[in-house]
Structure 1
C-alpha cells in the first residue's frame, strides 16, 4: 500500500538537480542581494537624505550666541527683589548650580540614557514605533533631550516626517560639537514649564519660592512632570498629580529614590497653587520710575528680553517703615474727618442713591500724599511713596505735577538774604503792610493768628513762620533773586517772581524740595537725586554705573547758617512736635500749609537723610480739615519715619559739619543783637558768615532803659506756620506783578 501511494504521487515531486542539490551561484546571488538591500540601499537613502537636508540644517554654533528672553530684576540696596520684568520668566542658571534632584527627575522622565547615546536613541525609536503600530495611535515618545532642544531652538512644531528627519540630523550635529553638560544646561534653561516660566530656575522661584539648587525630590518630580504638557497639567491638578507620581516611579526605577520614599512622596499633596498671581511690585511708584527710565534710555527690549539686573538705591526696610507711618497717619486723618464732617461737606465725592432701597451711600474722596527720602551726600533715593494705592492711581505725586508748598518755601527767601549779607540777628518788622500790585490793586498779607510781633530777628521769623516779616524780607531781597536761588538749589517748576512767592504760592515738586533742602547739610553742594546704582547685563558687564552728580550752588557758610536757623524751627519753632514725638537727632526742617488747609508739608534733614512729606487731596478745592497744618498732618509722618530710620543700630549719631574758617560763633545780646557783655541778662551763642558778625558791644546802660525792642520769646503753636486765607485781602497768586 505504501509503495502504491508513493508511486501515485511520484510524478508530482520536483525534479532533482544534478549533483547534490547545492548551487553556489544561487547562494552568492542571495548574499549580494541581501548586502544591497541591507547596506547599500540604506546607505544610498541616507546619502540622499543627508545631501538633501544637511544644507538646510541650522548651524549648531548659533547655540553659543543664543539669547533667550530673560527676566530683568530690580534689587533694593539691601538685596530684596523689588520687581521682575519679562515677556518670559527666565533665570539663566549654570547646570552646576541646579539641584541633582531636578537633573535626576528630568533624566528619568525624558531621557534616562542621555549620557550614553549620541543624539538619537535607536532603541527608543524602535520601541515607540512598535507601540504606535500595535495601538494604531501615537502613544509613545522617543525624542532625546538633544532632539527636544533642537525642536525648541531651531525647528517648528509641524508634525511631518521631514521635520523629524531634520530634528534627528541636527541632534547628531549638536552632539558632535558640544559636550553633554553644555547640552543639558541649555535644556534646563530653555524648556517651557507653565505660567510663563522658562527653565527650571524660574519655575522653582515661581512655584516654590526657592532657587533650583534648593529643590527637594518631590518638587523636582513636579517640575519634571510639567515638561510633557505644561498648559494641560497646570489646568488639571488631578491629572498632574498622576503625572508627578509617574515621574517619581521612574526615579525609583532608575534608583534615584528608594521604594519607601516613592510611597511616601506619592501620597503627598501637590502643595502649589497654579492659580496664584505674580507677586506685585514692592515700592511700586519707585519701580515704575525705573521702568520708564530703562524704556526711555535703552528701549523696551532691554527691559523685557535682555535679562538685565538693576541695582537700585531704595532701602526696602526704610520703605516699609515709611509706608506704615504714611498710611497710619492718613487713615487717622480720614477717620477724624468722618467723625466731624456733614453730608454736604466737600470731602464727599458725591451722594449715590440705591435705586431699590432709596438709601444714600456716602463715597469719600481719598486723602492722598507723597513722601521721599534721600541721602544728602549721594542723592540716592531711599524711600519713594507716590500715593496710597498704585493699582488705583499710578500718578506719582513725588515727581509728577506739583503742589503749592506754603511756608516750606520760605527757606529760599532767607537763603537769598543770608547769602547777600543779612545775618540771623538782623531784624524785620512783623507788622501789617500793604503792597501795590500791577493794575493798581493792593495786597495785605496777614499772619495766621492775625497777631504781629513787631521787631523780630530773621532766626525767630523763620522759626515761627511769620508771613508779614517774610514778605518784607522778600521785598527787600527781591522776588527775582529768590527765584534764582530756588532754581540753583533744585526747584525745576515755574516760579512766579512775585512777593506772594514768599508764602509758597507757586507749585513745586516734592522731589525738588527734598533735593533743594539737601543743599543745606551738604554745605552748599547740590546733588541730583538718583534711583539707580548700576545696571548689569546677563553676562555680568556693567552697562551703567552712577556716581553722584554734584554742583556747588551755595556758599558753605550760607548753607551752614541756614542749617542752624532751620534747626531752630525743630528745636523751638513750628517743627517742635518732632521733639515731642521722640526724635532727638540734630535736624533742621520747615513746615508748610497752604490756603484753606488744602496742602500740608514738612521737609527736613539730618546729616544722613533728607526727607519730605506732602499731604492733600488731589482735588485742590478739598481741604484736609480745619487746623490740619503741616505741623499736624505732615510732620508726624516725617518724625515717626526719621525716628525709626535713625535708630542707633542703623545710623550712628552725627552732627552737621561746620565749614572751618568760614563761619564765626559769637555771643550776642538777645535784646540788642550786639556783642554780649556781662551786663546782658540773656545771651545767645549765634553763628554768622565770617565777616558779618557784630563788631560793637551792647551799649552800657542799655538794659536799664524802660523801652525795649519788641521781641516775643514764646514758642509758637504748631499751627502758626500756615498760610491763611486772606478772604479778599490778597488777590489770586498770578494776577499782575508786584
Structure 2
C-alpha cells in the first residue's frame, strides 16, 4: 500500500553490447535468388514469355538438325573430294590442254610473222615465269590465293553482294571463283573432249562453262581435291599454261611470244599487267584488237599490284610511264591475207585441222608486204574520194611465182576476211591482150607485123553480128602489133586472135596459168573471161621469166615443231615452157612501150625500166594494171564487190598509180637492172593497102621463114595457117 501512490518508472531494456551481424552465405543467397528471379519472370509479360519460349524451341530444333546436316554434308564433300583426288593425273599431263595444234608461219628470212590455230609456246612453271606476271595474275584474279583451301567464302560473299547491288542475280557477273576453281573449270572438271560424245567442240566448251549452282558445287569439290593433290605452285602453273589469252594464244608463253616476241620469263611489269588483264575478256581486250583498251586495262592491274604491295614506287612509276607495246610481228596482225592464203593452200590436216604444232616457212617478204600496204593506203587517202566503197587488191611476186606480198582489200590488218586477190574472179579486160600477142609472136610474127584497125564485124552463130569497137571510138588504120598493144586497140587484138586461132590463144593463156574458164567467142581477145588477180600476176610472171609457166606459191617448207626434216616442200615454181624465149623477150619490149608511151604512162618509174598492161572491163566494173621490173611482178585490181561501175577510173588511172606507188617502195635501195627484153626499132605504120588481110607479117622474112605470097590476087596468105596445118598434120 505504501507504493500505491507512486509513479511507475518506464520500462527500459538493459544496456547491452550489440551482436555482430552474421555474413550471408553466397551459395544460400544464390539459391534464394533463383526462385526470386523465376518469380520475377513469371510476373513479366506473358506474350514475351511465349515468344521467347518459341524461339528457344526453334533454336534447339535448328541446332539439333543443323549440326547433323552439316556433318552429313561435310562427310559427302569429304568422300567426293577423296574420290576426285584419286582421279587427278600428274601435273605434267595437265599443262597442255589444247584440242588443236598450232601453226607458226615464218617469212623468207625465218622470222615469225603470223600464228594460226591454238598457239602454245611450250610449258612454263609458276616458278620460271616473270615474277611480275605471277604477281599480276594473283593480284587480279585471287589475292587470297595462298590462304584459302581452294574455295574462298569471303570472295564468294563479296561477289554475291556486288552482283545483287548491281541488279543481277547472285551468280551472274562476278563469280568469286578462286584461281583453283578457274583452273578446275579450264580442266572441265576432268572431262575430256570426245567427238563421239559431243555434238561439237563448241557444245563441249559451252558445257564446261556452265554457271549453275550444281556446277559451282562440283567445281568447288574439284578445287578442294586439287588443293589436296597439288601444291599452290602446281595449280598456278596449270592455270598459266591453260588460260586463253586472245589472239589464238593458249598459255603465258604463247601470249608472250604472240604479243611481245619474248619469253614469259622476261616480261616487264607493264607487259605482265597487260597479259593478266586479258584473263577477264581475252578476245575483247586482246592488244591486237585494240591496243589502247588493253593498255587501259593493264593500268588497272598495275594499280592492284601496287595496292597489294607487289611493286616498289620506282617500278610503279616505270610501268605507268612506259605501257606495253606490241612486237613488230604482232603489229602485222597475224599475217593478214597472205597468211590466210598459205593456210588454205596447205594440206588441211596440217593447217586448219592440225592436232600437231606445225612450222611453215613461206615466201613472204615483210618489207615488200609493208610497201604494198602503204601504197594502198597512200592512194586511197590522197586520190580516192571520201566515202568511196571501192576496193582494191595487190599481189607482188618473183618471176618464179614466189609470192612476196599480198593485200586482199583496203582493210589490210585483217584475218579471215574475203581475199580479193585470190577469191574474186573478175573479167580481165585488156589485161588479157598480152596472151593474144604472145601467141602471134610465138608463131613467128614480129612486133612490127601490121594489122588494119578499121570496122570489123563477125557473125556469131546463135548471137548474131558482133562488131568490136575501140575505147576511143576511132579507127587508126594500119598499125603494128606493138602499136596496137601500146594503145590497147580492141579491133586489132580481135583480128590477131581470130587470125592465129582462139583455141591457140586459150591454150597459151591456160599454160601461162589462167585456170578459170575462158570465153569461147571472139570476145576472148578483149578479156571477156574471168580470172583472179593471183592467176593473172602469175601469168605475167611467166612472161618475165622468159616464157615458162609458173605456179604461184607461198609455202616453202612444212615441218613439225621439234623436227628438222620437212614433211613437204614448195608446191609451186617454174613449170614448162609456153612460148619461145625470143618471143617472150619481144613481148616484154612491147609491154615496155605501154608504160613508156601508151595507156600505162602513169605507172612509169623514174629510175628503172618497167613493162605492163592496163585493163578496163565493160562499163568500167573492173580496172587492172599488171606489170613488172627486172626484179618483181606486181598485179593491181580495183573495183566494187557488188560490180558497181567505177566512176572515172580505168586501168591506166588509179590502178597504175597504185602499181607505181607499190613498185617505188619495193624497188627502193635495190640495184637498177634492165628488163630482159629484145629491143626492136619501131617502124612507122604503112598506108592501108586496098586489099588487106586481118594480119600482115613484116616484109623482112625471118631466118627459115618464107615471105608471105598473095593468094588469089586478093590478099596475102596468113603464115599462121600454114603453121597450123603443119602442126595439125593438114
Give the TM-score band, short-chain normalised. 0.5 to 0.7
CA shift, 1:158, in A, is 6.6
- Specify the alignment match of 2:116 in structure 1: 85
Report if aligned partners of 1:569, 1:575 keep a CA contact under 8 Å in 2: yes
CA shift, 1:393, in A, is 10
Deviations 1:316-338 (A, max 9, x none): 33223223322433455542xx8
Report if aligned partners of 1:147, 1:171 keep a CA contact under 8 Å in 2: no
- Specify the alignment match of 1:645 in structure 2: 666
Unaligned runs of 5+ in 2: 1-78, 159-178, 191-215, 286-293, 688-697, 709-730
Give, in whole Å, the separation in 2 of the partners of 1:136 and 1:594: 67
Q: 1:616 to 1:97 in 2, by over 3 A?
A: farther
> More displaced, 481-490 or 597-606?
597-606
1:503 to 511, 519, 526: 526
CA shift, 1:481, in A, is 1.6
Report if aligned partners of 2:396, 2:404 keep a CA contact under 8 Å in 1: yes
**Is residue 2:580 matched to residue 1:519?**
no
Report if aligned partners of 2:94, 2:238 keep a CA contact under 8 Å in 1: no
**Is residue 2:655 matched to residue 1:634?**
yes
2:305 to 244, 247, 257: 244
- Specify the alignment match of 1:546 in structure 2: 570
Deviations 1:599-651 (A, max 9, x none): 221111123211111222334352322xx32212311111121122112x2x3
> More displaced, 414-423 or 324-333?
324-333
- Specify the alignment match of 1:555 in structure 2: 580
Give, in whole Å, the separation in 2 of the partners of 1:330 and 1:468: 34
CA shift, 1:477, in A, is 0.8
Report if aligned partners of 1:281, 1:287 keep a CA contact under 8 Å in 2: no
State the secondary structure of the residue aligned to 1:630: coil
**Is residue 2:396 matched to residue 1:384?**
no
- Specify the alignment match of 1:58 in structure 2: 89
Q: 1:494 to 1:60 in 2, by over 3 A?
A: same
1:265 to 303, 311, 315: 315
Deviations 1:476-509 (A, max 9, x none): 1111221111111111222122222212222222
State the secondary structure of the residue aligned to 1:642: helix
CA shift, 1:513, in A, is 1.1
State the secondary structure of the residue aligned to 1:559: helix
- Specify the alignment match of 2:615 in structure 1: 592
CA shift, 1:80, in A, is 6.5
**Is residue 2:245 matched to residue 1:200?**
no
Give, in whole Å, the separation in 1 of the partners of 2:298 and 2:136: 20
2:336 to 265, 273, 284: 284
Report if aligned partners of 1:97, 1:212 keep a CA contact under 8 Å in 2: no
CA shift, 1:432, in A, is 1.9
CA shift, 1:418, in A, is 1.2
Give, in whole Å, the separation in 1 of the partners of 2:280 and 2:618: 66
Deviations 1:559-597 (A, max 9, x none): 222222222222232223333xx4442322111222333
**Is residue 2:573 matched to residue 1:530?**
no
CA shift, 1:520, in A, is 1.0
2:510 to 468, 487, 506: 487
- Specify the alignment match of 1:19 in structure 2: none
CA shift, 1:128, in A, is 7.1
**Is residue 2:333 matched to residue 1:310?**
no
Aligned CA RMSD, in angstroms, stands at: 5.3
CA shift, 1:240, in A, is 5.0
- Specify the alignment match of 2:633 in structure 1: 610
2:599 to 566, 569, 574: 574
Give, in whole Å, the separation in 1 of the partners of 2:457 and 2:244: 75
**Is residue 2:375 matched to residue 1:325?**
yes
Report if aligned partners of 2:453, 2:475 keep a CA contact under 8 Å in 1: yes
CA shift, 1:92, in A, is 1.8
Report if aligned partners of 2:107, 2:363 keep a CA contact under 8 Å in 1: yes
Report if aligned partners of 2:403, 2:554 keep a CA contact under 8 Å in 1: yes
Give, in whole Å, the separation in 2 of the partners of 1:71 and 1:440: 55
Q: 1:390 to 1:468 in 2, by over 3 A?
A: same
Report if aligned partners of 1:427, 1:455 keep a CA contact under 8 Å in 2: yes
- Specify the alignment match of 2:589 in structure 1: 564
2:241 to 186, 190, 194: 190
> More displaced, 530-539 or 213-222?
213-222
Give, in whole Å, the separation in 2 of the partners of 1:457 and 1:221: 70
Unaligned runs of 5+ in 1: 1-47, 111-123, 139-144, 250-260, 339-363, 674-685, 697-738
CA shift, 1:519, in A, is 0.9
Give, in whole Å, the separation in 2 of the partners of 1:297 and 1:378: 25
- Specify the alignment match of 1:373 in structure 2: 396
CA shift, 1:543, in A, is 3.9
Report if aligned partners of 1:603, 1:612 keep a CA contact under 8 Å in 2: yes
- 1:285-434 correspondence runs (5 A): 285-293=337-345, 296-298=348-350, 300-302=352-354, 306-335=356-385, 366-388=389-411, 394-434=417-457
State the secondary structure of the residue aligned to 1:520: helix
- Specify the alignment match of 2:60 in structure 1: none
Report if aligned partners of 1:94, 1:185 keep a CA contact under 8 Å in 2: no
Give, in whole Å, the separation in 1 of the partners of 2:457 and 2:240: 75
State the secondary structure of the residue aligned to 2:434: helix
CA shift, 1:198, in A, is 4.4
- 1:138-157 correspondence runs (5 A): 156=190
Give, in whole Å, the separation in 2 of the partners of 1:559 and 1:224: 59
Give, in whole Å, the separation in 1 of the partners of 2:299 and 2:379: 48
Report if aligned partners of 2:630, 2:675 keep a CA contact under 8 Å in 1: yes
